[in-house]
A = this chain, B = another copy of it.
Amino acid sequence: MNALEKKILTEGKVLEGNILKVDMFLNHQIDVALIQQMGKDFYEHFKHKEITKVVTVEASGISIACFTALHFGVPVVFAKKGRHKNVGSDVFSSQVYSYTKGEAYEVNIRRDFLSASDKVLFIDDFLANGAASKGIMDILHQAGATLQGIGIAIEKGFQEGGALLRDAGIDLYSLAIIDRMEPGKITLREH
C-alpha cells in the first residue's frame, strides 16, 4: 500500500452524493511530504519513458505535477480553466464537461508551451469519467504532441474513465483506485 492509499483510508471522508473529501491533504490543504512521495511514485512508474513536459490542470494538479517533473528535469505546463471562449489564435483550447458541477468549462494552454516535439506526461488529481483527460488529449492532438502516459492520484474505479483510457492503449497509472465507497467505508482496488 502506497502513501496516498494509506492517507485516503485514514483521513478520507465520503460525503453524500458519492463525493470523496480529501481536501485536508490534497486539494485545498496540501500535505507536501505526501505529494513529494507521490511525485516519486509517478517517476518510478514512468521513468523509462522519454518525457519533455509534465502537463496538468489548475489548481489541484499543480503541486503533484511539480514534484513529478522535478525527477524528470522538465517543466510543468498547467492548463488554465475558463468559462469563456478564449479568443485569438495564441492558445490551444478544449471543452471539458464537469459532471460534478453539471457544466462545461474550457481548458487552455498557450501555443508557446506545447509543440509537435513534446512528449507529455499528463498528471491530475482525480479521474472519474475521464473528461479532463479527453480535453488535454484534444489539446495535445492540436499541438501534435505525443502523450506518453497519464498519472492520476485518485481514480474512481466505479466510473468509466479508467477503463476507457486503458482500452485506448494509454499507459494510465493511478496511485489509488477506489472500487466502492459509502459513508464510513472506502474500498481500494488491490494491486
**A70 at the B interface (CB under 8 A):** yes
Number of interface residues of A (CB under 8 A): 30
CB within 8 Å for A76 and B62 given contacts A24-B113, A70-B33 = no
Binary contact track A57-80/B, C-beta < 8 Å → 1, others 0: 011001100110110011111101
A112: chain B residues at CB < 8 Å are 24, 29
- The answer to whether A110 has its CB under 8 Å from any CB of chain B is yes
Q: Which 10 A-B pairs have the closest CB atoms?
A: A58-B59, A59-B59, A30-B76, A29-B113, A62-B62, A63-B66, A32-B69, A29-B77, A32-B70, A29-B75
Copies in the complex: 2
A142 contacts the other chain (Cβ, under 8 Å)? no
Complexed CA–CA distance, A30 and B54 (Å):
10
B32 touches A66 (CB 8 A): yes
Q: List 20 A-B contacts (CB under 8 A).
A: A24-B112, A28-B80, A28-B109, A28-B110, A28-B113, A29-B77, A29-B112, A30-B62, A30-B66, A30-B76, A30-B78, A32-B66, A32-B74, A32-B75, A35-B66, A58-B58, A59-B78, A59-B80, A63-B66, A66-B66
Chain A, 76-110, CB within 8 A of any chain B CB: 76-78, 80, 109-110
- CB contacts under 8 Å to B, within A13-56, are 23-25, 28-33, 35-36
